[in-house]
Amino acid sequence: MDKSKRYVLWVEELCKDDIYVAGKKCCNLGEMRQAGLPVPPGFVLSLEAYKKFMTDSGVESAILEYLNKNMAKLKQDVGMFDEASAYIMNLLESKEMPAELKELIYEYYENLCEQCALPEVPLAVRSSGPVSMPGQFDTFLNVRGKDEVIKKIIKVWASSFNARAMAYRLQRGLQVESSPIGVAAIKMVNAKSSGVMFTLDPLNGDRSRIFIEGSWGLGESLVSGQVTPDKYILDKVTLEVSKKTVCSKEMELVYGPEGDVVPRKISEDRRNAPCLSDEELLQLARYGKTIEKHYGVPQDIEWAVDVDLPFPNNIILLQARPETIWSKKQSGPAIESKGSATEIIARQLMQGIRF
Amino acid sequence: MSEKRGFKDPHEVAPVPGTEGWERMYPYYYLFTTEDREMETHEDKLLWYYDGLHYPEPMYPFDLIWDEAWYMALSQFNSRIFSIPASMGIDHRIVNGYLYIAPIGIEDPEIIGKRVEEFMKRAGYYYENWNELYDKWKEKVTDVIKKVEQLDLSDLPELEDDSVVFASKGKSSGFELVRKYNELINYGLEAWQYHFEFLNLGYAAYVILADFCKKVFPGMDDATLSKMVGAVDVILFKPDEQLKNLAKLALKLGVNETIKQSAKLDDALTALKESEEGREWVEAFENAQYPWFYMSTGTGWYHDHWTWYDKIEIPFNSIKNYIEMLEKGESIDRPIEQVRETKERLVEEYTNLLTNEEDKATFQKLLGVAQTCFPYVEDHCFYIEHWFHGVFWGKIRELAKVFVNHGFFKDVEDIWYLNRYELEQALYDLVTSWATGVKPRGPSYWHSEIEWRKGVIQKFREFAPPPALGATPETITEPFTIMLWGITSNSMQQWLEAGATSPEEVSELKGFPASPGVVEGIARIVRSPEEINELKEGEILVASTTSPSWTPVFNKIGAAITDVGGIMSHAAIVCREYGLPAVVGTGFATAAIKTGQKIKVDGDKGRVYIDK
């Protein structure tokens, strides 16, 4: 069946051209998987699935009706968006998943449980929009059980109606009543440590470096800036470590007994230990090189080390996207390239060397 | 100079007690000025750094000859021959027996502009014809070496051979001896002219490439760059390869046991001559020597850096060591293929990391010329410092025997306490006394003077020369200064900081990350070539500077640290070759570290941590 018509797909069925099938994040994961990189297994709900839910459940027309009634107020008063958002999100969350989708999600979830040899594999359920939108959509971690998965998928869809996103769509003259996004439902990584990796030095744009930041536990603590992470800089070509800064890491996020994410204080002895072993660091950097080669441009990558798996399978890549700051800078030549080597040397010797 | 941040005023360094009057051992132009106020002010404004790379020991008056040689040679190729745009030469001075040098820059943009035009024509000719000119260079240098080898410096006859009369030669052996001495000195200076014929341009090519790489790859380390530039086949490793081949041959011929069981080379040779296989090995051993056994056990810069010919047990012990390694099944070959592959891969991958075509073109051009230059940069030392110097020191000792015969010196090794001008005078004293039949003045003059000078040199050793004197310039632009001595604005800053604490209190040293890797181990300070055999398996070599003739110990040690040297210093090159971590140019590792201490060498970051 044509990919674009399907409601649920495996991550690895997607490639980079499929952003209008299931959004950027899902495509990225699919593309990475196809490039032989270790992304966690999972399935995705396509944009079609979103549309089907919106029409079959009657939500779309209900939203239209609500919007028509309140459009004037919305345009005048930004504060109204909060009220509208609450109303619409509530509306979505009150609806049932259409039967056809429900069956499919059950099927894929059970299959995934089998693959992972776990009765109720915990998932991360995340949004995957085809275009970048301001306003964070919701992400749900550690989701267990097929009905819980369905509930969270609907919640992610609902989050496309958060106030900022709606206001943005209205201002840009985009459709307000519907904004199809994909949803990625992928296996949770039981992260011993996690972090980000850039395949260049974000401080100076040096493309011969790989820059890695990491901390103990789940990645959220790093993203939200609660911990000063360890920093590693490697030579991209030789993979030699050129800089290693191990910081004192006071806390980490871990799964609580209820499957929720809780902060935990890090014991004295682990606090100052590097969150990546030498072999993990090296393997991660190798993946960084592979990803950059695959996409042809420097990448910004989220990674984790799974506590349940042995090395090297424990290194998991959660996401990769093109690095945007340095890559966009169209830098001119570092020095004038005109003429013979002698001419270049002469010009440079004239200026003197400032070491 | 008090208003400007800097090092100690070179004119205000106190003499070492008991050495007062030391100045007369050296030519007057090596002393800091006292008679000319203007010159004094000029000297104060320069950065004078201690050249411990070449002179870890105080200067013997005669050994100063090589310094005099390059004082002129390096400078003239910058200033008068190749017209290096923004730099003239390097000035030299002696303070308490130690050598200080100062790079002389050019600041006037108009002058620089004019010099550039000439530089392009002149340097361009060398860069474009490098290999062809280098072949000619080898001929010129070996020609000088042969001429020195042929100089006969034997003693004067009681009565001249009658051929002087019947072939109407018209001049005496006394005159000839003076002439030959002057020739010998001139050949020495000539060899050093050639030493710099290519070196300035070679270094300039490398420094400009390194500067470009710092711009496009700010995080790239020097060790990586030198792997891309370095030649795979290096002459400096040939002497060691001779020994490896002899070890292999010993196993092939089955004479390995005989060699291993002989305490001394002579015992081995006697035993080997008993069998046909043994004789074959002895023949191979003899054929392998020339010129490779002119390898110095030091850098070759001092008269007591004996060659393998002088200290034949050193190569012999290395052969035994290699035999043992081969018997254990270990590989003793340099990983040449691996070095070559790494080099090619690094170049390819780094080129691909450049984002625009202009930079790719610049990189290729600069890398190309640096690679062309590099065999010379790495190999010239063997021709000049090892081979030529080895022959030269031998000739001076021949001459010393004549002086000993005539009572000038008590011992051959006394000759080094006279500088080359004094030696010419002493020789003239000797030949005139020979001619007149009158007792020479030399013995009464020199015996006491040499005794006094020995004491002075000994006292100089107790003086710790500060890393630098004078002012600190904002930038360093002279290629040699950066590349060879590793002097940068950063290292000066570190020296200034370090000056505040005493070496014994330091627990972390900073230097150049010359060869990557991290190793922990026990330190051993090696202060002279004689001490290298004390190094034990896995120990970390800590030296003021090293020489590639120490190569056999690099099979044994865990890492190397030096006080002085940049990324192209010998220790750096050999460590990269052997995959050992190295931190060079630490300033005072030999003062801060003690033998037996546990230390950690981080060759990635250029740090040494001392466990105190």
User: Which residue, among B350, B441, B474, B361, has the nearest Cα to B45 in the 3D structure?
Assistant: B474
Q: What does the DSSP assignment read for A129-181?
A: -SS--SSPPP-EEEE-SHHHHHHHHHHHHHGGG-HHHHHHHHHTT--SS----
In a domain, B432, yes or no: yes
For residue B384, give both structure tokens: 């000049």
Give A 106-165 residues with CB within 8 A of chain B: none
pLDDT tier at B478 (50, 70, 90 boundaries)? Answer: low
Residue B190 CA to its chain's centroid (Å)? 17
Q: Does A346 touch chain B (CB under 8 A)?
A: yes
> Looking at the structure, do residues B445 and B473 belong to the same domain, yes or no?
no
Q: Which residues of A touch B128 (CB under 8 A)?
A: 342
Q: Do B116 and A350 touch (CB under 8 A)?
A: yes
Residue B499, pLDDT score: 59
Structure tokens at B463: 């003086």
Report residue A28 CA to chain centroid gap.
9
* Domain over A191-328 is classified CATH 3.30.470.20: yes
Residue A209 touches partner B, C-beta closer than 8 Å? yes
Place A351 in a pLDDT band, splitting at 50, 70 and 90.
confident
Determine the residue type at A123: L
Within 8 A of B338 by CB-CB distance, chain A residues are: none
Does B13 contact A at CB distance below 8 Å?
no
Of the partner residues A204, A242, A341, the one whose CB lies closest to the CB of residue B127: A341
Question: Is the per-residue pLDDT at A173 higher than 90?
Answer: no
> Is A340 an interface residue toward B (CB < 8 Å)?
yes
Mutation site for A-interface testing, chosen from B47, B213, B216 by largest number of A Cβ within 10 Å: B216
The single residue listed with the structure tokens 């280098």 is B134
- Is B208's CB within 8 Å of A333's CB? no
Q: Return the minimum-mean-pLDDT range out of B255-259, B402-406, B475-479, B605-609.
A: B475-479
- Burial level of A151, CB count in 10 A (0-12/13-18/19+)? middle
Contact call for B211 and A355, based on CB within 8 A: yes
B106 touches chain A (CB under 8 A): no
CA distance B334 to A313: 36
Chain mean pLDDT for chain B:
90
Does A344 contact chain B (CB < 8 Å)?
Answer: yes
Q: Which residues touch A138 (CB under 8 Å, ≥6 apart)?
A: A127, A155, A156, A158, A159
Query: Which range marks the domain in which residue B93 is found?
Result: 10-117+461-480
Residue appearing with tokens 């660091």: A281
Tell me the three state secondary structure of residue A182: strand
B119 touching A, CB under 8 A?
Answer: yes
H or E element that contains B15: none
Asked if A337 lies within 8 A of B365 by C-beta distance, the reply is yes
Confidence of residue A170 (pLDDT cuts 50, 70, 90): confident
Separation in Å, CA of B163 to nearest CA in chain A: 57
Q: Which helix (H) or strand (E) holds B520?
A: strand B518-526
Q: Which of B17, B22, B12 is nearest to B457 (CA)?
A: B22
Percent of chain B with pLDDT over 90: 65
Give me the mean pLDDT over the B356-367 stretch: 96
Q: What's the Rg (C-alpha) of chain B?
A: 25
Asked whether the beta carbons of residue A243 and residue B605 sit closer than 8 angstroms, the reply is: yes
Residue of A nearest to B217 (CA): A206
pLDDT exceeds 90 at position B359:
yes
pLDDT(B399) > 70: yes
- Cβ of B579 under 8 Å from any chain A Cβ? no
Task: Lay out the sheet containing B468-470: strands in order across.
Answer: B87-95, B98-105, B47-50, B468-470
Task: Say what the pLDDT of residue B20 is.
Answer: 95
Whether residue B601 is found in the same domain as residue B512 = yes
H/E run at residue A206: none
Q: Is A136 exposed, middle or buried (0-12, 13-18, 19+ CB in 10 A)?
A: exposed
Output the CA–CA distances (angstroms, integers) from residue A13 to A6, A43, A257, A320, in the order listed: 11, 9, 34, 17
Q: Which residues of A touch B372 (CB under 8 A)?
A: none
DSSP B386: I
Q: CB B335: neighbour CB atoms within 10 A?
A: 13
Tell me what pLDDT residue B2 has. 35
pLDDT greater than 70 at residue A325? yes
Contacts of B438 (CB under 8 A, 6+ apart): none
The burial class, CB within 10 Å (0-12 / 13-18 / 19+), for A114 is: exposed
Instruction: Write out residues 167-206 of B within 8 Å (CB-CB) of A.
Output: 204-205
Amino acid found at A238: T
Range A79-90 average pLDDT: 90
Asked whether residue B110 falls in the same domain as residue B166, the answer is: no
Residue of B nearest to A347 (CA): B116
Could you tell me if B16 and B101 lie in one domain?
yes
Query: How many domains does the structure of chain B reveal?
Result: 3
Query: Hey, are the CB atoms on A350 and B112 less than 8 Å from each other?
Result: yes
B382 min Cα distance to partner chain A (Å): 27
Strand order in the sheet with A123-128: A8-10, A42-45, A182-187, A123-128, A140-143
Q: Does A352 touch chain B (CB under 8 A)?
A: yes
Report how far residue B373's alpha carbon sits from residue B209's, in angstroms, rounded to the nearest whole number: 12
Q: Do A352 and B489 touch (CB under 8 A)?
A: no
**Cα separations (Å) of A188 from A34, A219, A259?**
20, 12, 11
A349 and B85 in contact by Cβ < 8 A?
yes
Query: Can you give the C-alpha Rg of chain A in angstroms?
Result: 23
Half-sphere exposure of A147 (CA within 13 A, CB side): 1
Question: Is residue B416 situated within a structural domain?
Answer: yes
Contacts of B369 in chain A (CB under 8 A): 341-342, 345
Q: CB distance from B351 to chain A under 8 Å?
A: no
Question: A237 at the B interface (CB within 8 A)?
Answer: yes
Mean pLDDT of the A213-225 span: 73
Q: Is B219 in contact with A337 (Cβ distance < 8 A)?
A: no
Domain boundaries, chain A: 3-187, 191-328
Mean pLDDT across B341-356: 94
A-chain residues near B368 (CB < 8 A): 341
Range 555-574 of B in CB contact (< 8 A) with A: none
Looking at chain B, the whole-number percentage of residues with pLDDT higher than 70 is 93
Q: Give the Cα separation of A117 and A110 in Å (integer).
A: 10
pLDDT for A260 beyond 90:
no
Amino acid (1-letter code) at residue B78: N
Burial of residue B472 (number of CB atoms within 10 Å: 0-12, 13-18, 19+): middle
- Residue A212, chain B, CB below 8 Å: the answer is no
B47, B353, B366, B600: which to substitute to probe chain A, counting the most A Cβ within 10 Å? B353
**Are the beta carbons of A209 and B124 separated by less than 8 Å?**
no
Residue A124 has pLDDT above 60, yes or no: yes
Let me know if A123 is exposed, middle or buried by CB neighbors in 10 A (0-12, 13-18, 19+).
Answer: buried
* A334 at interface of B, judged by CB pairs closer than 8 A: yes
- In sign, the C-alpha dihedral spanning B238, B241, B243, B249 is negative
CATH code for the domain of B549 = 3.50.30.10
Beta A182-187 vs A42-45: how paired, if at all?
antiparallel
For residue A210, the cross-strand partners are A234
User: Span A3-187: which CATH code?
Assistant: 3.30.1490.20
Question: How many distinct helices (H) and strands (E) make up chain B?
Answer: 22, 12
The rounded mean pLDDT for chain A is 88
User: How far B301 CA sits from the closest chain A CA (Å)?
Assistant: 29
Q: Note the pLDDT tens digit of each residue in B63-74.
A: 999 999 999 999
Q: Is the dihedral of CA B481, B487, B489, B490 positive or negative?
A: positive
Q: Does A277 touch chain B (CB under 8 A)?
A: no
Question: Is the predicted pLDDT of residue A249 greater than 80, yes or no?
Answer: yes
**Interval A8-63: pLDDT, tens:** 999 999 988 899 999 988 998 898 888 889 999 999 999 999 999 999 999 999 99
Among A241, A327, A337, most B C-beta atoms within 10 A, so best to mutate, is A337
Q: How confident is the model at residue B230 (pLDDT cuts 50, 70, 90)?
A: confident
Position A25: which residue type? K
pLDDT over 70 at A355, yes or no: no
- All residues of chain B having their beta carbon less than 8 Å from the beta carbon of residue A238 are 224, 346, 516
Give pTM, 2 decimals.
0.80
Cα→Cα distances A174→A14, A168, A177, Å: 27, 8, 9
Give the number of C-alpha atoms closer than 13 A to the C-alpha of residue B513, restricted to the C-beta side. Answer: 21
Cross-chain residue pair A346–B85, CB shorter than 8 Å: yes
Interface touch B127/A353, C-beta < 8 Å: no
Which of A198, A208, A245 is the best mutation test for B, with the most CBs of B within 10 A? A208
Shortest CB distance from B220 goes to which of A208, A241, A342? A208
The single residue listed with the structure tokens 């190094």 is B535
Query: Does residue B256 lie in a domain region?
Result: no
Interface check for B353 against chain A (CB to CB < 8 A): the answer is yes
B571 domain-assigned: yes
> Under 8 Å CB-to-CB from A345, ≥6 apart: which residues?
B123, B127, B204, B205, B208, B366, B369
CA triple B262-B265-B268, angle to 5 deg: 50
> Hey, which residues does B561 pair with through a beta bridge?
B542, B583
Q: Is B125 a member of any domain?
A: no
What residues in B contact A354, CB-CB < 8 Å? Answer: 475, 477, 489
Cβ-defined contact of B204 to A345 (cutoff 8 Å): yes
Cα B53 from Cα B30, distance rounded (Å): 18
Instruction: Say whether B272 sits in a helix, a strand or coil.
Output: helix
Residue B290 lies in a domain: no
Q: How many CA atoms lie within 13 A of B59 on its CB side?
A: 33
Q: Cis omega before residue A202 (within 30°)?
A: no
Q: Would you say residue B4 has pLDDT above 50? A: no
Select from A148, A160, A123 the least CA-distant residue to A23: A160
Q: Which of B127, B140, B227, B264 is nearest to B572 (CA)?
A: B227
Q: Is the separation of the CB atoms in A268 and A283 below 8 Å?
A: no
ipTM of the shown complex: 0.80
CB distance B345–A237 less than 8 Å? yes
Tell me the β-bridge partners of A206.
Answer: none
Q: Mean per-residue pLDDT for B80-105?
A: 93
**Is B596 in the same domain as B448?**
no
pLDDT for B83 beyond 90: yes
Non-local (6+) Cβ contacts of A251 within 8 A are A217, A221, A226, A227, A263, A264, A265, A266
Residue B72 and residue B190: Cα distance in Å, rounded? 11
